[in-house]
Amino acid sequence: MKKYISLLTILYSIAIFSQNQPNILWIVTEDISPTLSMYGDTTAKTPTLDKLAAESMVYTNVFAPVGVCAPSRSAIITGVQPTSLGTMHMRAGKDVMSWGKRVYKTDKLKNGVDVVDMDGNPLREYASVIPADVKCFPQYLRADGYFCTNNEKTDYQFAAPITAWDENNAEAHWRNRPNGMPFFSVFNIGITHESRLWKNDDLPLTVNPDAVKVPPYLPDTKATRKTIARHYSNVELMDKEVAVIINQLREDGLYDNTIIFFYSDHGGPLPRQKREIYDSGLHVPFMIKDINSKTIGTNDQMISFVDLAPTILSIANIAAPEYMQGAAFLGSKKGIENNYIFASSDRFDEYSDRTRAIRTKKFLYLKNYYPELTKYKDVGYRKNIPMMNPMLAQKENNELTDAQMIWFGTKTSEELYDCENDPHNLHNLANDPTYKKELEAMRATFKGYQKNHVDLAEIGEATLIEKGWPNGVQPTTAKTDIKKEQGKIILNCDTEGASIAYKIADNPDEKFNYNDHWKLYSKPINIEKGKYLYTISERIGYKESEVVLHKL
């Protein structure tokens, strides 16, 4: 029996190491700033992440394009800025988990709340209709032979198309792939999400509130310290979930031969962190364990989430499509390092605004299009945070410090921060003559960026919806056409930008199910005579086509 097991192990190892393409694993947590030990903050005890960091390259200048999840995730999955996709507003519909919600309410964007754009036009739920040529990047991996899984959050501002993933549900796992097939697997961990600051309130704190550091923009009170301790305690719970995934990889003999990414989808969950365009909302922890941990240390290059899609394709030796705005920072297609990153801030739930940012290694520049509005947005969801209402009461009673009141004040048309000497971005230098040269340089960089990139916020969200959903009706993808040429099946869809999925069955009784293993159509296929072929087409943001059954 031992010899039999050893033989299986050897054969499995041969299959793994004979792959030409590396396995890639993403472990994505939510709502965390770089407040982990590898960044100098030892408040939370994270032994799993500590060990992973020791075997990884730890990146110190990685930023989300928006300080909230859905717009940022749209950039991650496409390699395009939310402002160029039309996905910059939080949130469009409620396509959060798995294959997403494909039915949208026509009356309100948020239950019980009238939501309007900056021009006062009422808004409704919608799926973002992005440019026709833009795809979810795992589709390119699938076409090149990868098994791609997502467990389980999507939240792209559009329903995940069926062509994006081999598996996209709570059971999705690399273990479900065919033997020897390279995989790209994403695991999303929600325990550190903003909502867990109140949903986990009944769990014991594993971090002492008296031991936490309180940033200067928050009042140092019992309520604040308890909320911060809850967050750090959630980080410790997250570390245990990471351990489960890492241990599964080791059990399968895949740890050394898998490139592991760990990062957060944007900055921390506390007031004046999430939804903000400052470092507190954009700066994230980010590390990569290479094959056999051959590259370790720290790296300070500027990286944006739009760089992730081309980088993964580059690691797999796949050329990124020209529409991607990011640059690969690893792999065979590695590009030139960024000198800066771009970020945006628009509507968050029921409050609209518009701010743009350029961040270099030293400076952060903001352009505020509505300086008369306050920095603080009275978002109802955030008021569930235990410390939020006490903080608002302190504001009303004039009990906050000058640094804490900045968040509640109006903006200037421009802001400039020295991030090295002012890591909390509290001292606006835009009107300081000492920094005139730096301000002019950052302003010129911003204008150059805007000149070369589409910013769909300029047309207003209501107009954007109307362009994608004429007369308020979601467009529908045309059904798949089929023809035979030289004994092969060729599939086509007349809808521009549509992708096609198919599955083969022995009988015509199977019902459509997103969790079935639908194959991506990327080239003509051979199918035995007498089989049944199911096809479906889908363009991102459109309603999917009807499922067509073909008898062969």
Active-site positions read 69
- Residue located via tokens 């030409």: 20
Tokens standing for residue 27: 């472990």
Tell me, what amino acid is at 124?
Answer: R
Picking from 27, 23, 48, the residue whose alpha carbon sits closest to that of residue 254 is 23
- Packing angle of the helix pair 308-315, 69-78 (nearest 10 deg): 30
Q: What own/partner pairs with CB < 8 Å and gap ≥ 24 does 465-471 have?
A: 465/123, 465/124, 465/126, 467/129, 468/86, 468/126, 468/127, 468/128, 468/129, 468/541, 469/126, 469/129
HEC readout, 319-384: CCCCCCCCCCCCCCCCCCCECCEEEEECCECCECCCEEEEECCCEEEEEECCCCCECCCCCCHHHH
E-strand ranges in 94-240 read: 147-151, 167-168, 183-189
Residue 118: CA count within 13 A, CB half-sphere: 19
Are 480 and 493 in contact by the 8 Å Cβ rule? The answer is yes
Return the sign of the alpha-carbon dihedral for residues 83, 30, 395, 213: negative
Cα 175 from Cα 185, distance rounded (Å):
10
- Which helix (H) or strand (E) segment holds residue 58: the answer is strand 57-63
Picking from 30, 308, 71, the residue whose alpha carbon sits closest to that of residue 191 is 30
In angstroms and rounded to an integer, the radius of gyration of the C-alpha atoms of the chain is: 24
Q: Are strands 363-368 and 355-359 parallel, antiparallel or unpaired?
A: antiparallel
- Residue located via tokens 């059904």: 479
Cα 320 from Cα 317, distance rounded (Å):
9
Residue 327: CA count within 13 A, CB half-sphere: 12
